[in-house]
Amino acid sequence: MVDNNTVLGIDQNFEALLCYVLGWITGIVFLFLEKENEYVRFHAMQSLVTFLALFIISVAIGWIPILGWLISVLISILGLVLWIMLMIKAYQGETYKLPYAGDFAEEQLKKMKNSDQPPKNY
């Protein structure tokens, strides 16, 4: 039987959902808390990458009068839709990978994993 519990002792699907609850903030929190469960770590990194990027873009574009504000509202709506969809997918046990952000998240996790391993002595 596969152990789906996490470092917090809760189901991995629920913890993956929690990675998205406060956007990039909970992404960072669960990336630091969860060291073993790769499913949760992926969702934490994807949350961090996706929602931090949307936040930065929205703030930067928001400085542009009128047109920037409208685009910022559209980005907020996109963020809300992604937020709900990603929480549902995570809770259902699906490793739903967003274009670009999901690939970037996987690459970063691989780099982090490789940097944790001691150097090989030949």
pLDDT digits (tens, 9 = 90+) for 69-101: 899 999 999 999 999 999 999 999 998 999 999
- Positive or negative torsion for Cα 54, 59, 63, 69: positive
Q: Is the pLDDT of residue 2 over 60?
A: no
Q: Could you tell me how far CA 81 lies from the centroid of its own chain?
A: 15
pTM of the model: 0.85
pLDDT digits (tens, 9 = 90+) for 18-77: 999 999 999 999 999 998 899 999 999 999 999 999 999 999 998 988 899 899 999 999
Alpha carbon distance 46, 24 (integer Å): 9
Residue 80's Cβ-side half-sphere holds a number of Cα atoms within 13 Å equal to 6
